Structure formats: structure tokens, C-alpha cells
């Protein structure tokens, strides 16, 4: 361990590269705020311990291939280092310094000045850049050498150069899960530095610069050649922002490629395998960060892929990473040898004299055989695994982002979107796996998606099964589908069989009907707690599907799902047409024939709940039906609410009723249950059953239905 060094000392005559086994930039706003507050609050006359910086000197075999850095190493004596621990802090520092440079350039006093003419305290902008960011090779200044960066094939390096350091002529830049964090850090410092400058002036910006380069101190440690750098990386990076399991796995796999002897993995094969690991992770992190508004969790993806690729076992939540890092991809499985026998007349790789200690030759029945001892974990297994991760990533992304997705057919997009809306629970690995086998096509996949959606709605939303019901079986089915051990037809059959408890056969007609009593008991509890159908967790999905059926028949979508499920304070997107507080005389006249205990059921029953195209203030729910049917304005002619007649298709349908009374509530409830029967292929035995499920059987529904049919 060396003495404490400042950033100014650390960057003197050094070039830093983040090696391929490292994760990308992982700091988020929370860590950036901590850094900013530390920097602002540390006194200018005090030092602040920042942490450990572990470095590994780069071998000449490696840096001689660095085109843009080689001149600084050979001509000016710079020393090249890989950053083993501390890259998050160093990355943050250089982004902060870059942000200060941009603040200086954009200062009105510096317009049209060269970098030699712009100063921060006694440092010119050119000197600052050359010391911490980039040096141009004289005399032609074509080569721009970054003192800090990633290995060249890492998409974060191109993003860092062109989006963070504003180097021009970038071309296409691949954005990943990590580049989002780089961009966020740049925006954070730009905003806070501008505010700080406007409040305190350039002198205080100079003080911040001196603090970051001279007052923040590192313990710098150089790892010796014989030290296991990969193990060091795993150990050291468990401090600070913890490595994700996907990040740990990448480091482990690259480490394993270094352990094979040359009999099993020649140098060109070793390099190729390492490149495939890097390419796989590059693709994975591209897909995970592809949607900037909703970046995907890397460990969720790793768990799902483990379910699809290996034999699922139902144990603790972290069982998958113990299997990957402690059972499958371990150094022990490289060192442990298994015996392989090959006939000498078969094709076999050339055996060199110096490789003979690993081989035995025996003669059996007059034939010569070659016995070779190979690692329990072969390089081919690693290659197949990382290629599978790579190919699964885009399909994982597609399951979260199906809308307007050119990789999906219209029907695939429609049904995956439905699955996300209803709550996909544990089926995402199975859906992803359906894209990874040659035995499926878009038509078969849509059949599977329809069956899964029906299973979720009937089993979980209606029949109230526990959220883990049969999850192990369908996790295993994901792997079996990927491995062609099961077909889509097999899985659909299993899905239908697992819903048998949701149905019963009539002894008289021998027809199969929906067993609604599970759902009825659930809704009864909701009525007792004051909500009724309004508290059903499948209500929004059901009403939205009813609305979308009207859209398919008539066109013109009027309800946006994201706004429909958004919870706004004191506003509603599903209205009780007959209100929960029916104070107006109009409501009393229509419902006074029923007891107050019965009026509660009219308020909370399915037929009284209406999806609105625009949310309204909850107080407006108490208006009379005649007022709700048309738009309402205040004295200033400002619209307070949308009228049913101009609203969603469901609102327009309700506006067709002349009045809103008990009979019409039952009528609409029955219509909605008829839609449920058609949409999810289930059947109620009688209208009485439907009325009972609607909690309106006290109305003498047989008499009403007879009048309705006339």
C-alpha cells in the first residue's frame, strides 16, 4: 500500500484503461449526490480520503496494439494501467472535470477564445484537458489520446468520447444500460455546476476544481504480476456499489478462459472465446438499456435465462447465482479432469511431443486408442452458454417493449402487450423461450400467448389462485420448450389441464361451466371492506379489454392504458355511475325502494363501474346521471368534466340509457359478464348465477331477464 495520492499525482504520466472484465459505469443519482456534497463541504485546507485505487500494469504485448496511446508510452514514458478497483470514482472525476471545461467554454466572456486563452485560476483550459482528459499528438494533431477510457471495443468508450467529452464525428453510437448512467452523471454535474456558478461565481468553481484534483486522496495500490487480478476484482468490487450477479458472472467467465492449458484451448481460441464473452455482454447491456425510460434489471434477466437454460430447482431466490458461480462456472471444474477416449483412426487434434504427459495410449482388441484428460467444464460449454445469453437478450427486451416493435408480428405485439397489462407474473421466461426454438413460429407463439393470458385471467384474476400456483412447472416448461422437449401444443394442453378446478360439469346437461364461487367469495370480502368490484385487481384490465373490443368494432381508441392506470390524487378514472354518496334527490328517487344495505351492492357491482376517457375530480361523481351524460362547465365556461356522450365507447354505450336505475345496472352487469364468457371462453350455467355473482340476486333476476328478453 502506497502513500495517499491526489488526482493530480495519480494522472501524472499515467494512462488508464477499464479492462473488459470490468462492469460499466454503475453510479446513479444517489452516489452522485453523495460525491457532490462531499466535494462542496470539504474545507479547502483539508484532505479527504476517497478510497482505494487498485491498478494493474498493462503488459507490453497488450499496449503495443493500442494505436492512439502507444506514442505517449514510447515517446513520453507514460505508464499504462488497467483499473481493477476504483473505476466508478475515477469515471466520476473525469466527467466532473469535463463538465467544468464545458462551463468555461460556454461562459460569455470566453466566446471565440482558444483553449490556450481560457483560464480557470492559473490553469489554462488546454492544460486542464491535457492533464486529465485528452492529449493530441503533435505536429499534425490527428491522434487524440484519452488518458482515461475503456477498452476500445466497449461501447461505453465511444459514448464517453463523443457524448461526454464531445469529440465530433461520432457516427452511430450504441447506447447500453451503462451509457444511460454516463449520460445521467454528465447532466447532473452540468446542472449543479451551472447553479453553483450563478450563485458563487467562477472563483468558487476554481476552488471546486482544486478540491477534486488536490484535496481528494486515494490509496493507490499496484497489483503485482503474480497476483490473481480476477479474484481481486470480485473481492474489491463488493465494496461501494455492489456488483450485480451478471457483472460478477462476466468477470468469472473471462477469468476461466485464462485457466485452460494450451492442450485444450490454444491462444487464438482463447482470444476468440474472450471476444465472444465480451460481445455477449455488450449485446445484453444494449438490450437492457435500450428503453431509456424503462431500463431493465440485469439480475432479472440472468435469473430468467438460468430458468430457460438449466434445470430449474425450487429453492431460495439466490439459488441461481450459487449454481452459476459455485457449481457450474468454477475454477475447480477447469482443474477437475474427466477421461475421454478416442480411437486413433478418428480425427483428432495434432499431438505435439511436449503435450504427451497429458495423454496415454493403450491398445484394446488390436486397436490403438488415445485417452485424454479434459476439464469437466469445456470451453465449448462456455461458448454455448454466452451465445445463448446473447441471443436471448433481444427477446427479453421484446417481452417488455412489444408495442411498435418491428421484430414482432402485429398479433405477437398485441398479445404480449396484453400479458404485460394483465400482469405477466412468472411467464416471461416461457414467452422468451418461445422465440429461442426452431419448432415455433409466430402463429404458434400467438396461440401460446392467448392460452397464457386466459390462464392468468381465469386462474389468478377470477379463481384467486396463489401467485406461485404451478410456477415450478412452467419454469421447467421454459427450458423444455427451448430444448425441444415440449411443444407449444403440449404446454397449451398443460395450461388447460391446470384450470380444471376452475370449472365443473353439469350433471343434467353434461356441459362444462365456470365455477364462480371462488370469485364470488373474494368479491364478498371486498364488499364487506367497502369496495366491491371496484377493489378487484382485475377490474381495470377487464374494463379496458371490454373497451378495446368496442374499438375493434368501431375504431377510434379513446382510453390510454398508461393514463387509465395512473393514480392521481382526488381523481378517478373508473367512476361509480350511481355514486357512493348519493346525496342528490335524483338518486334517492330511483333507489329508495331498496334498503341501504342493498344500495351498497348497486354502487359496488360490476355494471355500475365505468371507465372514463379522461379522469375527473372525485367530487363530480355525485352529479345526477343526466348531468354526467353531457359536459359540465363552470361560470368561466371552463370544462370541468367530459360528458359520457363524448367519452369512451363504454361511456357512449351508457349514455344510451334514458336513466340510471337498478334495472339498468343489472342489465349492464349482465352484458359485461356475457363479454367475459365470449372473451375468455367460459360459461355461466344461468342468468341467476350471473346475478348472484353481481350480488344483485335480491332483485328477482328471473322476472327481469324475462322482461329483458321480450
C-alpha cell at 677: 364468457
Distance separating alpha carbons of residues 637 and 73, to the nearest angstrom:
75
Distance separating alpha carbons of residues 491 and 243, to the nearest angstrom:
36
pLDDT tens per residue, range 682-707: 999 999 999 999 999 998 766 665 55
- Residues whose CB is less than 8 angstroms from the CB of residue 517 and which lie 6 or more positions away in sequence, other chains included: none
Asked if residues 340 and 373 have their Cβ atoms less than 8 Å apart, the reply is yes
Distance separating alpha carbons of residues 523 and 502, to the nearest angstrom:
16
C-alpha cell at 699: 332483485
| Global pTM value | 0.82
pLDDT of residue 702: 61
Report DSSP letters for 409-424, one per residue: -HHHHHHHHHHHHH--
Nearest in space to 252 (alpha carbons), one of 272, 271, 235: 235
> DSSP class of residue 222?
E
The burial of 169, by beta-carbon neighbours within 10 Å (0-12 exposed, 13-18 middle, 19 or more buried), is given as exposed
Strand partners for 575 = 610
Nearest in space to 134 (alpha carbons), one of 147, 143, 124, 125: 147
Look at residue 277 and give its three-state secondary structure. helix
Asked if residues 248 and 325 have their Cβ atoms less than 8 Å apart, the reply is yes
Distance separating alpha carbons of residues 76 and 564, to the nearest angstrom:
64
Asked if residues 488 and 448 have their Cβ atoms less than 8 Å apart, the reply is yes
The burial of 163, by beta-carbon neighbours within 10 Å (0-12 exposed, 13-18 middle, 19 or more buried), is given as middle
Asked if residues 462 and 422 have their Cβ atoms less than 8 Å apart, the reply is no
Count CA within 13 A, CB hemisphere, residue 527.
20
Report the run of H or E that residue 600 belongs to, with start and end: helix 596-604
CB atoms within 10 A of CB 698: 14
C-alpha cell at 461: 384474476
Distance separating alpha carbons of residues 183 and 258, to the nearest angstrom:
34
Strand partners for 574 = 611
Strand partners for 513 = 504
For cell 393514480, the residue is: 567
Distance separating alpha carbons of residues 337 and 330, to the nearest angstrom:
13
pLDDT of residue 362: 42
Distance separating alpha carbons of residues 416 and 398, to the nearest angstrom:
9
- Residues whose CB is less than 8 angstroms from the CB of residue 52 and which lie 6 or more positions away in sequence, other chains included: 85, 86, 218, 219, 221, 236
Distance separating alpha carbons of residues 416 and 431, to the nearest angstrom:
9
Length of the chain (residues): 710
C-alpha cell at 595: 334498503
Nearest in space to 610 (alpha carbons), one of 645, 653, 577: 577
- Residues whose CB is less than 8 angstroms from the CB of residue 497 and which lie 6 or more positions away in sequence, other chains included: none
Share of the chain above pLDDT 90, in %: 65
CB atoms within 10 A of CB 471: 16
Distance (Å) of CA 374 to CA 371, 383, 435, 462: 10, 16, 34, 55
Asked if residues 616 and 572 have their Cβ atoms less than 8 Å apart, the reply is yes
Report DSSP letters for 111-165, one per residue: TT--TTT-EETTEEHHHHHHHHTEEEPTTT---EEESEEE-TT-HHHHHIIIIIS
Distance separating alpha carbons of residues 341 and 267, to the nearest angstrom:
24
Domain ranges (residues) in the chain: 4-236, 245-330+381-502, 337-375, 514-709
Distance separating alpha carbons of residues 55 and 227, to the nearest angstrom:
11
Distance separating alpha carbons of residues 683 and 673, to the nearest angstrom:
9
Distance (Å) of CA 246 to CA 235, 305, 606: 15, 11, 46
pLDDT tens per residue, range 185-212: 999 999 999 999 999 999 999 999 999 9
Count CA within 13 A, CB hemisphere, residue 287.
21
Which residues in the chain show pLDDT less than 50? 1, 344-365
Amino acid at each position: 500500500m502506497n502513500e495517499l495520492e491526489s488526482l493530480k499525482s495519480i494522472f501524472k504520466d499515467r494512462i488508464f484503461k477499464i479492462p473488459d472484465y470490468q462492469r460499466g459505469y454503475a453510479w446513479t443519482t444517489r452516489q452522485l449526490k453523495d460525491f457532490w456534497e462531499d466535494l462542496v463541504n470539504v474545507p479547502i485546507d483539508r484532505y479527504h480520503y476517497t478510497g482505494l485505487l487498485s491498478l494493474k500494469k498493462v503488459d507490453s504485448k497488450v499496449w503495443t496494439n493500442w494505436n492512439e496511446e502507444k506514442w505517449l508510452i514510447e515517446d513520453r514514458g507514460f505508464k499504462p494501467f488497467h483499473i481493477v478497483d476504483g473505476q466508478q470514482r475515477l469515471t466520476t472525476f473525469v466527467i466532473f472535470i469535463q463538465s467544468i471545461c464545458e462551463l468555461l467554454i460556454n461562459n460569455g466572456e470566453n466566446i471565440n477564445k482558444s483553449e490556450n486563452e481560457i483560464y480557470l485560476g492559473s490553469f489554462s483550459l488546454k492544460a486542464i484537458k491535457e492533464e486529465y482528459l485528452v492529449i493530441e499528438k503533435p505536429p499534425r494533431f490527428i491522434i487524440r489520446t484519452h488518458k482515461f477510457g475503456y477498452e476500445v471495443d466497449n461501447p461505453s468508450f465511444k459514448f464517453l468520447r463523443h457524448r461526454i467529452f464531445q469529440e465530433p464525428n461520432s457516427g452511430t453510437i450504441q447506447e447500453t444500460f451503462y451509457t444511460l448512467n454516463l449520460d445521467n452523471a454528465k447532466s447532473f454535474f452540468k446542472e449543479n455546476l451551472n447553479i453553483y456558478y450563478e450563485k458563487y461565481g467562477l472563483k468558487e468553481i476554481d476552488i471546486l476544481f482544486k478540491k477534486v484534483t488536490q484535496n481528494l486522496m486515494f490509496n493507490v495500490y499496484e497489483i503485482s504480476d503474480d497476483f490473481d487480478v480476477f479474484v481481486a476484482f470480485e473481492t474489491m468490487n463488493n465494496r461501494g456499489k455492489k456488483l450485480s450477479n451478471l457483472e460478477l458472472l462476466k468477470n468469472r467467465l473471462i477469468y476461466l478462459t485464462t485457466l485452460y492449458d494450451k492442450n485444450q484451448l490454444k491462444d487464438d481460441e482463447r482470444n476468440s472465446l474472450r471476444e465472444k464473452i465480451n460481445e455477449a455482454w455488450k449485446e445484453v447491456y444494449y438490450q437492457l438499456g435500450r428503453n431509456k425510460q424503462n431500463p431493465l434489471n440485469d439480475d432479472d434477466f440472468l435469473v430468467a435465462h438460468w430458468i430457460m437454460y438449466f434445470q430449474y430447482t425450487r429453492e431460495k431466490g439466490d439459488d441461481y447465482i450459487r449454481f452459476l458461480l459455485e457449481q457450474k462456472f468454477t475454477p475447480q471444474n477447469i482443474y477437475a479432469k474427466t477421461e475421454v477416449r478416442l480411437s486413433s483412426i478418428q480425427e483428432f487434434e495434432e499431438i505435439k511431443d511436449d503435450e504427451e504427459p497429458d495423454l496415454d495410449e493403450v491398445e484394446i482388441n488390436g486397436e490403438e486408442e488415445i485417452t485424454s484428460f479434459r476439464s469437466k467444464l469445456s470451453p465449448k460449454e462456455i461458448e454455448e452458454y454466452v451465445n445463448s445469453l446473447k441471443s436471448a437478450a433481444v427477446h427479453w427486451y421484446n417481452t417488455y417493449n412489444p408495442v411498435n416493435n418491428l421484430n414482432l408480428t402485429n398479433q405477437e405485439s398485441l398479445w404480449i402487450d396484453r400479458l404485460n397489462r394483465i400482469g405477466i407474473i412468472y411467464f416471461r421466461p416461457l414467452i422468451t423461450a418461445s422465440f429461442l426454438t426452431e419448432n415455433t413460429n409466430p402463429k404458434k407463439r400467438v396461440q401460446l400467448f392467448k392460452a397464457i393470458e386466459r390462464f392468468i385471467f381465469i386462474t389468478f384474476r377470477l379463481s384467486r389462485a396463489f401467485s406461485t400456483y404451478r410456477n415450478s412447472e412452467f419454469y421447467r416448461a421454459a427450458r423444455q420448450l427451448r430444448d425441444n422437449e415440449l411443444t407449444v401444443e403440449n404446454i397449451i394442453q398443460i395450461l388447460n389441464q391446470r384450470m380444471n378446478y376452475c370449472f365443473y360439469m353439469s350433471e343434467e346437461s353434461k356441459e362444462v361451466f365456470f365455477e364462480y364461487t371462488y370469485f364470488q367469495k373474494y368479491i364478498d370480502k371486498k364488499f364487506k371492506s367497502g369496495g366491491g368490484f371496484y377493489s378487484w385487481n382485475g377490474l381495470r384490465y377487464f374494463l379496458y379489454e371490454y373497451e378495446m373490443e368496442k374499438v375493434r368494432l368501431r375504431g377510434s381508441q379513446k382510453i390510454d392504458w398508461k393514463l387509465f392506470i395512473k393514480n392521481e390524487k382526488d381523481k378517478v378514472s373508473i367512476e361509480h355511475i350511481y355514486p357512493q354518496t348519493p346525496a342528490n334527490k335524483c338518486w334517492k328517487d330511483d333507489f329508495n325502494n331498496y334498503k341501504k344495505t342493498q344500495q351498497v351492492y348497486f354502487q359496488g357491482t360490476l355494471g355500475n363501474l365505468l371507465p372514463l376517457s379522461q379522469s375527473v375530480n372525485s367530487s363530480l361523481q355525485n352529479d345526477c346521471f343526466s348531468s354526467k351524460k353531457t359536459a359540465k362547465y363552470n361560470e368561466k365556461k371552463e370544462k370541468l368534466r367530459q360528458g359520457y356522450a363524448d367519452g369512451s365507447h363504454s361511456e357512449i354505450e351508457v349514455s344510451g340509457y334514458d336513466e340510471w336505475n337498478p334495472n339498468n345496472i343489472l342489465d349492464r352487469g349482465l352484458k359485461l359478464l356475457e363479454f367475459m364468457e365470449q372473451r375468455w371462453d367460459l360459461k355461466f350455467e344461468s342468468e341467476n348465477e350471473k346475478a348472484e355473482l353481481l350480488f344483485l340476486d335480491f332483485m328477482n333476476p328471473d322476472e327481469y331477464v324475462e322482461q329483458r328478453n321480450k
